[in-house]
Structures are given as C-alpha cells and as structure tokens.
Chains A and B, each alone.
Chain A
Amino acid sequence: MTRSLTHLERLEAEAIHIMREVVAQADKPVMLYSVGKDSAVMLHLARKAFYPSPPPFPLLHVDTTWKFKDMYALRDRMARESGMELLVYQNPEATERGINPFDHGPLHTDMWKTEGLKQALDLHGFDAAFGGARRDEEKSRAKERIFSFRTASHSWDPKNQRPELWNLYNARKNKGESIRVFPISNWTELDIWQYIQLNDVPIVPLYFAAVRPTFEWEGQMFMADDIDRLTKVLGRTPEITERSIRFRTLGCFPLTGAVESTASTLSEVIQETLLTTTSERQGRVIDKDAGGAGMEKKKQEGYF
C-alpha cells in the first residue's frame, strides 16, 4: 500500500495540472500578479510546474500607483529570480485624471483595476489569464469555475457557466473571448499560509508585524507609506502614530486597513489568522459596495 497524499500535495498537484493545461491549449497566456501572498504562491507553483524551463508566460501587474513600496520591491525581485518577463500596466486615463482612493472612492478601483485590467488584456491580446482567486474568499467566487469564460467585452455570466467535470478543462473559445483561470480555487487561507511556510515562498514583509507609521481615516487604521503623497492628496499632513502593525491582505495602501499585531514570524501570523474573528477581506473596502452582491456585480463587469 502506497502512502496517501496530504491535502496540500493534492492541491499543489491540481494547481500544476491546471497551469500546464492552459499552457498546452492557450495561444497567449499571462499570469496576473498582484504581489500579495496568493500571487506569491501562484508564482511558486508556476515555477514548479514548468521547471527546469521558466514559466512560459509573462507576469502582468495591473498597477494603481498606490501600492506599498515594499510590494514594488518584491515584485521586481521575483520577476528577476523567476526569469519571467514583467509587464506593468497603469491605466493612462486614470493617470491623467489623477484618480486616487481619497477623492474618488469606488471609482479608484473601477478605473485602475477593472478598466486597467481590461485594457491591459486587450492591449497584449492575452487569451488566458491566471488569477489567484480562491473559492473560500467570497460567496460568488465559491460558485465560479476554475476555467471562467469572459465575453469579448470581459463580462462574466454566472448562470451560463460551462460544466467542468473531473479534471477535464475545455479551453476552446471564439475569437475575442478569453479565459480567467483560477488554479488555487480550492485552497483556503490556511493552506496558502502553510504552503508559504513549507516551501519558503518569499512574501512582502508587511505581512509580518513591525513598528510602522500609521494614521486613521474614516474609522480605520492605515499605514503612512508615502507621507509626502498623502499630504498632497489629503491637503494636510495626517496625524502619524507609530504602532506595531501588520496586514492580513495587501492592496492600495490607502485602502488596506492595518491591524495592530506583534506577530513577526510565519507561525505567529498563522496563529493570529486562525484565532481571529473577522474574515480576511474585511480589511478591504471593496466588498461592502452594492450590498450582498458586491463582488458578483463587479465580476460581471469584468473585475478579476
């Protein structure tokens, strides 16, 4: 009797199988790379899937210009180490109009991320894009297929998804249509953390607690990552307090709430995550728009 695979081994094998199916069937795949912990795991899985070749697709970072400095640093380092091409896209219209999270609210996400992503995919003609979404994150994601089809205008039709049986993925599509592929659909947040620990996957240091400059805005605590820029946008210098903080999730620094914490090792971070009583995405403002169907609506409009 041969040994049974552990759940993490099964999840890893599944993700690698999915990535190879895409590469074997798509004309021009790309990996969406947001520099968060899920992206870090995705990149590591891609390196494993195609070793000793480098992953045969570029990384695409749809940038908002408002990410943490540490994220930009890790992004550039990982692209170098993996031998992959890094494409960075910033929506020129958002740049021109000076879209920012303070003055423009939901428009910030819409212009930089949703519109930016569509523009970047169209610009390069990518027909398959890997994303790191997980089904445990949010209710509409729980129902999304691993191969998720988008019309030529990037919209998602949740009532008309292709049946997806066994591990047979139908990657055929008509001209102009594209596929979003989610290889880590079946992973949970704990799986991600444990995989990072077991495989020494490099992640942004902001996930670990350290004393950092913070300010409060609309009832949440944020990190003052770029004080000069904050002062310019807010029209005043925010009141800065040094606190020991870390982040459960990383996005734009003015949109990502920090939590007070002393968890400075992976084990401590995992411990804190498991004992915590609020769900992961609560640090992000995005899901609360449009009531219970917020994410489903965003996805139909083309958000990843």
Chain B
Amino acid sequence: MDAVYQTEALIAEDIDAYLDVHQHKTMLRFITCGSVDDGKSTLIGRLLYDSKMIFEDQLAALESDSKKVGTQGQEIDFALLVDGLAAEREQGITIDVAYRFFNTEKRKFIVADCPGHEQYTRNMVTGASTADLAVILIDARKGVLVQTRRHSYLCQLIGIRNIVLAVNKMDLVDYDQARFDAIVAEYRAFAQSIGIESFTAMPISGFKGDNITTRSDNTPWYSGPTLIDHLETVEVLSSLDADKPFRLPVQWVNRPNLDFRGFSGLISTGSVKPGDTVRVLPSGKTSTVSRIVTLDGDLDEAVAGQSVTLTLADEIDCSRGDVIATADNPPQAADQFEATIVWMDDDAMLVGRSYWLKLGTQTVSVTVQQPKYTINVNTLEQLAAKTLELNAIGVAEIATDKPIVFEPYAQNRALGGFILIDKLTNRTVGAGMLHFSLRRAQNVHWQATDVTREVHADLKNQKAKVLWFTGLSGSGKSTIANEVEKTLSVMNRHTFLLDGDNVRHGLNRDLGFTEADRIENIRRVGEVAKLMADAGLIVLTAFISPFRAERDMVRQMLPEGEFVEIFVDTPLEVAEARDVKGLYKKARAGNLKNFTGIDSPYEPPENPDIRVNTVEMTPAEAAEFIIRQLMPLK
C-alpha cells in the first residue's frame, strides 16, 4: 500500500509535480477472463479499491449492497462495483463487457471485464480486440477448465501476446505451492499446443489482496512480480507499430475552401514527415507529403496511433477508403481472401449472401464461401460445417465485389481486421481476420475487349436493361414478362426472357430450395443476365427472388440505372386461389418444403422501380404500363 500513500502525499504537497508525472504516463488496456466463478469482477473491484479509485459514497453504497445482494456474506463483495447492469446484479453474473479505469504511478489502465459464459463469446472477442494484455484467471481449487482453454484460444486468435495466468483464490487452498505448480504445468502444456509461446504465472487472491499490489507473506515461495508490478512494466506491443511501414487509412477529405485539400485519418503503423514520398492505394499514384496540419500548428513528424491531417504536393485522386502508404513498401489490394470469422448474430451466416464488409475505412460487398472448417473452441478440434452459427469460429474464403487494400491481420490489425454487417438489419453479424489473399485473385485478370458493351447496345439501337420481375409464385410474373417481351419485339428491340422454371431445368438443376440454394440460384441468374446486358440485350427475368439482399446484389452488379425492379404485387390469397401449378395445395399439405409465402418468407421490395398489380390490371394492361414507364428505350 506504500505506493498509494506516496501518491496521495504528492497530490497534497506538490500537485504540479504529480500532474507532470501523470501527463507522461503511458496506457495499458487489458482484459480479465476466466470461468464464471473465478473471481474476475472481484479482482477488478480489488484493483480499483487498492488504487483508491473508489470514493467514500461509493464504498458506503457498496457496503450496504454487499449485505443486501452480495455473495460474500457480511464481507465486502467487490464484484458489485463492476457488475453494472440491473440484470447482472440480479443474476450475479457478467453479461456484457464493462470498462473500468485506474491509475498507478507509472501507467493509466483501462480494464475490460469480459463475460465468461460461452453464449457471450462475442462480447469477450469485443473486449479482447482492443486489449494489449489478458489476465486469465483460474480458480486454484478447480485448475484449468474448459472455459480457461476457450478464453486462451480466443486471446491467441485475436492476437494478444501478453498473457498473465493469475491462479486465484490461493487463500482457499492454503497458499499451497504444489497446487500452484501443478496448475501452471498443466496450463503450459495446453498453451504450447495453441501457440502461446510465453505467459507470466502468479499466485493471487483477489478477495484477500495477496500479490495484487504488494508481495504476499502467504506465498514466500513465490519470487515473481505482483500483478500491479507486472502491469506497470510489461511492454505494450502496440507501441511497436511505430516501427512498421507507414499506413494511413483515409477517413475524410478536409476541404474548407478551394486552396486546401487535406486527408484525415488515424496512422495505423509507421511514421510520416513532410517531404516523405507516399503512394495512394489502390490507384498506386505517388506524391510527396507537404504538411502535417493541426490546430496547434504544423507537425515535424507524426507516428502510429495519432489522428492527423496530411496535405500532398500533387493534386491526385484520394478519398475515404484509400490508404496513403510509404511509396517503396505499400500494401497490396486483392478481392479474394482466406479469413478466420467469428459469427456474432442469432441468425446463422448464409453462404453466398452478400454482406457489407468494413475494413479500416473501406466498406464493400462481400460473400462468404462454405467454411473449410469450424473450430470447437472447447476441444480445439476442426469440424466440417455448412455455415457459421452464433459464437462459431471458422475459416472460410471470402470474395469482395471490388479490390480492397489489406495486410494480413498478424502484421497490421487495422488493415487485416474486419466486421461483417447484415445489409437488411444493419446488425454487426461477424468479425474476421484476414490470413492472406488467394492466388487466383492475383492470376485471373479481366480481359479488356475492343467491342464494348456500349457498342453492342448501340448496334441494336437500344440501351441494355435488366427487367427484374419479382413476386410470389402464381403472381403473374412469367405471363406479364412474356407480354412485355412480345411488345418489345414488335418494337424491333432485342430481348431475352430468362424464366425461373426453365433455368432450373439446365443451368441450375443442381440447386434445391434451401435458403442457401435460392441465393446461389439468383446469383447465377444475375451473372447470366449481366453477360446478356453486356451483349446489349434487354433482359427480362421472372423469378420469385424472395430476398431483398439478393435482388440488391444483382442491382450492384450492373451499371447504375440498368437494373429495373418490377414488383408483381399480387396478394398471397389471390395467388394461392389461382394456384396454376397446384404448388400451394402441396405446400399447405406439407408435401412441399420451403415454399415462398407458406413456410419460407417473401421480402417485398421497399422501393420498386415499377409496381404492377394483377388484381386491378390484366396482364396486357400491366405490360403496357411497364413499357410506358421504360420509355424512351434509347
């Protein structure tokens, strides 16, 4: 406790000297993890208490709460300081990551208290993603448990290189050295098997305070540092980022007037000085840094971790999502990768579904292939899997719709870590780490042709279009599309009609009606329609295409304005009453699974380009209405 009192004396006697010390402190972010009752919250409460971060009024509230809902009898329950949400206080567990702050003489600390239960794996990964160090707690009575293994694996996966093995509750095993040594040996064997090269083990009691701030008399056999000593002196690996090559993902272009054009962002690695030659990715153009501009005057140098605004000597294209990098060692761009993905949403991942991928300041569309394998986080076995469920971790190939600037996660977290966002719900559904780009992305080049898509369309005296009819089975899509095509041919237009049933006889005969197969069905039809549009045709497609995400995916494939979504808005009762093919009857009888409108959803377009209704219009009237909307055709 000496250090604490010295600090307090300094504050009282010479506040400016104290502030000077505090001003120059570095910061360490760490997480605590372990099984449910290993005492994480108690340990953090203890750290706050011992570093005087708890005020008298909080302490009074804590004492009264401890008696009311505490789990430590009449003694102070430190965990109550940390478990903030009402549901957690009632259930006595930690649901979400809580961030706490304390200072010692040498450092400022931000500690994330992560939940232990398996169903909160995503919360733990969240807490770990910003941590420099992990304290893995083990209950000395219980030893290495399944959760210890899972948490260690997740820390390793997210790239935390400083691991502290805190063997807690030593007071409950009479500070037995043999017990401690046995646990450390067991953990070491496991740690090596997952690639953790080193860790620091220490015997502690969060409840009693042994080896937290001062060396405990109860463990004379232990000669290592106390927990605080270690946290104060361990090297922060993120400080090594400054020695890597310079990378600045551009967040925002600063244009107050015509004379100033600055590029703002957080330097992810390396350092930069005015006069440095830089390259803008992915365009590859080079320039020289003119100024590093701040409100307090220009800087001579800026380093990793700083938010800056740069100006360049040349007027070159550069906008949000681009990366400014050192010219002689720039990162690469690619569009196909292998990655580890942690799934974080209640709805399982859909292979082939288009998600948003956010990496650095770049946001692109991405599809994920069937996982090569998933990892059982408890046994670390690799398992075959068709998809990723909530909290699953797997390795899969991903493909973006355009090249992104990247580096492997192990080299650069900012250019290798990404999140996946569902395009409809906007939820963050997954997080991932890039391993490497796939060779085929590098070797398959786009062949440029001289007769361009514009030439193809001009020869036909028309503009290429994809008229995408969507609606329930029996809504009249094929009938109306057929009418439209007949009229267009009379007008001497070059068209082609792709019909759902017809395509399933050939190109897509390997596909069924599961959600994943429906997505692949639409993807292939979209690609075929795109090729035909490249050839200058007006393409008509008649597919139920029940999901908004896939219709949007096709829209994204085509140049702006070429995709025309036509919603055949026939109510389910009407379509079912018609039941031209007898499918509704079969589906109602349970003889046809995954039938849209019955046991599989239909997501109607929110803003279709054209809407027709076969209750109020005949197919011929609907076709005429559509053609009028499409005019002029050239």
Residue ranges of A at the interface with B (Cβ–Cβ < 8 Å): 1-14, 16-17, 20-21, 23-24, 47-54, 135-136, 138-143, 158-159, 161-168, 170, 172-174, 185-186, 188, 190-191, 194, 197-198, 267-268, 270-271, 274-279, 282, 292-293, 296-297
Which residues of chain B are near A14, meaning CB under 8 Å? 307
Select B252's contact among A23, A139, A163, A191, beta carbons within 8 Å. A23
In the complex, what distance in Å separates the CA atom of A111 from the CA atom of B18? 43
In the complex, what distance in Å separates the CA atom of A165 from the CA atom of B264? 21
B305 to A, closest residue via Cβ? A5
Q: Are A4 and B26 interface neighbours, CB within 8 A?
A: yes
The segment from B80-88, B213-221, B520-528, B609-617 found at the interface with A is B80-88
CB distance from B60 to the nearest CB of A (A): 10
The verdict on B65 contacting chain A, using a C-beta distance below 8 Å, is yes
Query: Which 4 pairs across A and B sit closest by C-beta, in order of nearness?
Result: A139-B84, A7-B27, A2-B242, A16-B307
Q: Are A275 and B11 interface neighbours, CB within 8 A?
A: yes
Q: Are B130 and A168 interface neighbours, CB within 8 A?
A: no
Q: Are B84 and A142 interface neighbours, CB within 8 A?
A: yes
Which residues of chain A are near B58, meaning CB under 8 Å? 279
Which residues of chain A are near B11, meaning CB under 8 Å? 271, 274-275
Q: Are A168 and B419 interface neighbours, CB within 8 A?
A: yes
CB distance from A130 to the nearest CB of B (A): 15
Which residues of chain B are near A162, meaning CB under 8 Å? 427-428
Q: List 27 A-B contacts (CB under 8 A).
A: A4-B236, A5-B26, A5-B239, A6-B24, A13-B306, A13-B307, A20-B265, A21-B361, A47-B295, A51-B294, A54-B256, A138-B84, A159-B95, A159-B96, A163-B125, A165-B125, A165-B126, A165-B419, A167-B266, A170-B358, A170-B421, A170-B426, A188-B108, A268-B15, A271-B15, A274-B11, A292-B86
Which residues of chain B are near A51, meaning CB under 8 Å? 293-295, 309
CB distance from A180 to the nearest CB of B (A): 16
CB distance from A265 to the nearest CB of B (A): 9
Beyond A48-B296, A135-B100, 16 extra complex contacts between A and B, CB < 8 Å = A2-B242, A6-B27, A7-B107, A13-B307, A16-B266, A20-B252, A20-B307, A139-B85, A140-B84, A143-B99, A158-B87, A159-B95, A165-B417, A166-B129, A270-B19, A277-B57
Task: Give the interface SS of chain B, mostly helix, strand, loop or mixed.
Answer: mixed
Select B307's contact among A17, A143, A186, A279, beta carbons within 8 Å. A17
Q: Are A166 and B414 interface neighbours, CB within 8 A?
A: yes
B255 to A, closest residue via Cβ? A53
In the complex, what distance in Å separates the CA atom of A52 from the CA atom of B129? 33
Select A21's contact among B126, B251, B293, beta carbons within 8 Å. B251
Select B57's contact among A164, A198, A278, beta carbons within 8 Å. A278
The verdict on B16 contacting chain A, using a C-beta distance below 8 Å, is yes
Q: Are B85 and A158 interface neighbours, CB within 8 A?
A: yes
Q: Are A168 and B84 interface neighbours, CB within 8 A?
A: no
Which residues of chain A are near B350, meaning CB under 8 Å? none
The verdict on B123 contacting chain A, using a C-beta distance below 8 Å, is yes
Q: Are A168 and B12 interface neighbours, CB within 8 A?
A: no
B266 to A, closest residue via Cβ? A17
In the complex, what distance in Å separates the CA atom of A158 from the CA atom of B22? 34
The verdict on B279 contacting chain A, using a C-beta distance below 8 Å, is no
Chain B 86-114 against A: per-residue CB contact (8 Å), 1 yes, 0 no?
A: 11010000011111110100011010000
Q: Are A271 and B236 interface neighbours, CB within 8 A?
A: no
CB distance from A115 to the nearest CB of B (A): 23
The verdict on B566 contacting chain A, using a C-beta distance below 8 Å, is no
Which residues of chain A are near B55, meaning CB under 8 Å? 276-279, 282
Which residues of chain A are near B360, meaning CB under 8 Å? 168
B57 to A, closest residue via Cβ? A278
Q: Are B305 and A163 interface neighbours, CB within 8 A?
A: no
Which residues of chain A are near B84, meaning CB under 8 Å? 138-143, 296
Which residues of chain B are near A143, meaning CB under 8 Å? 84-85, 96-99
CB distance from B13 to the nearest CB of A (A): 10
The verdict on B458 contacting chain A, using a C-beta distance below 8 Å, is no
The verdict on B353 contacting chain A, using a C-beta distance below 8 Å, is no
B344 to A, closest residue via Cβ? A163
Q: Are A170 and B428 interface neighbours, CB within 8 A?
A: yes
The verdict on B543 contacting chain A, using a C-beta distance below 8 Å, is no
CB distance from A270 to the nearest CB of B (A): 6
B235 to A, closest residue via Cβ? A4
Which residues of chain B are near A21, meaning CB under 8 Å? 251, 361
Residue ranges of B at the interface with A (Cβ–Cβ < 8 Å): 8, 11-12, 15-16, 18-19, 22-27, 55-58, 61, 65, 82-87, 89, 95-101, 103, 107-108, 110, 122-123, 125-126, 129-130, 236, 239, 242-243, 251-252, 254-256, 260, 262, 264-266, 271, 293-296, 303-307, 309, 320, 344, 356, 358-361, 413-414, 417-419, 421, 425-428, 431
Which residues of chain A are near B89, meaning CB under 8 Å? 292-293
Q: Are B99 and A198 interface neighbours, CB within 8 A?
A: no
Which residues of chain B are near A168, meaning CB under 8 Å? 358-360, 417-419
In the complex, what distance in Å separates the CA atom of A51 from the CA atom of B236? 31
CB distance from A192 to the nearest CB of B (A): 12
Q: Are A48 and B294 interface neighbours, CB within 8 A?
A: yes
In the complex, what distance in Å separates the CA atom of A50 from the CA atom of B550? 38
Q: Are A20 and B271 interface neighbours, CB within 8 A?
A: no
A162 to B, closest residue via Cβ? B428
CB distance from A275 to the nearest CB of B (A): 6
Which residues of chain B are near A190, meaning CB under 8 Å? 22, 103
CB-CB under 8 A for A163 and B307, given A24-B251, A47-B295, A271-B12: no
Q: Are A166 and B254 interface neighbours, CB within 8 A?
A: no
Q: Are A20 and B251 interface neighbours, CB within 8 A?
A: yes
CB-CB under 8 A for A7 and B25, given A48-B295, A190-B103, A267-B15: yes
A24 to B, closest residue via Cβ? B252
Q: Are A275 and B12 interface neighbours, CB within 8 A?
A: yes
Which residues of chain B are near A9, meaning CB under 8 Å? 305-306
CB distance from B118 to the nearest CB of A (A): 16
Which residues of chain A are near B65, meaning CB under 8 Å? 292
In the complex, what distance in Å separates the CA atom of A173 from the CA atom of B421? 11
In the complex, what distance in Å separates the CA atom of A276 from the CA atom of B95? 32
A136 to B, closest residue via Cβ? B101
In the complex, what distance in Å separates the CA atom of A7 from the CA atom of B418? 25
CB-CB under 8 A for A163 and B122, given A267-B16, A277-B56: yes
B12 to A, closest residue via Cβ? A275
Which residues of chain A are near B96, meaning CB under 8 Å? 143, 158-159, 161
Q: Are A296 and B16 interface neighbours, CB within 8 A?
A: no
Select A24's contact among B260, B320, B425, B428, beta carbons within 8 Å. B320
Q: Are A142 and B98 interface neighbours, CB within 8 A?
A: yes
Which residues of chain B are near A159, meaning CB under 8 Å? 85, 87, 95-96
Q: Are A6 and B293 interface neighbours, CB within 8 A?
A: no
CB-CB under 8 A for A166 and B295, given A51-B309, A278-B57: no
Select A278's contact among B56, B243, B417, B419, beta carbons within 8 Å. B56
Which residues of chain B are near A17, meaning CB under 8 Å? 251, 265-266, 307
In the complex, what distance in Å separates the CA atom of A296 from the CA atom of B19? 33
Which residues of chain B are near A191, meaning CB under 8 Å? 108
In the complex, what distance in Å separates the CA atom of A298 from the CA atom of B453? 59
In the complex, what distance in Å separates the CA atom of A4 from the CA atom of B100? 22
CB distance from A19 to the nearest CB of B (A): 9
In the complex, what distance in Å separates the CA atom of A275 from the CA atom of B255? 46
Which residues of chain B are near A188, meaning CB under 8 Å? 101, 103, 108
Select A165's contact among B129, B243, B425, beta carbons within 8 Å. B129
Q: Are A296 and B85 interface neighbours, CB within 8 A?
A: yes
Q: Are A185 and B99 interface neighbours, CB within 8 A?
A: yes
Q: Are B57 and A282 interface neighbours, CB within 8 A?
A: yes
Which residues of chain A are near B413, meaning CB under 8 Å? 166
In the complex, what distance in Å separates the CA atom of A172 from the CA atom of B242? 32
In the complex, what distance in Å separates the CA atom of A77 from the CA atom of B342? 49
Residue of B22, B100, B255 most packed against chain A (CB within 10 A): B22
Which residues of chain A are near B98, meaning CB under 8 Å? 139, 142-143
CB-CB under 8 A for A5 and B306, given A136-B101, A158-B96: yes
In the complex, what distance in Å separates the CA atom of A21 from the CA atom of B307? 12
Select B86's contact among A52, A136, A164, A296, beta carbons within 8 Å. A296
Select A52's contact among B56, B82, B254, beta carbons within 8 Å. B254
B60 to A, closest residue via Cβ? A278
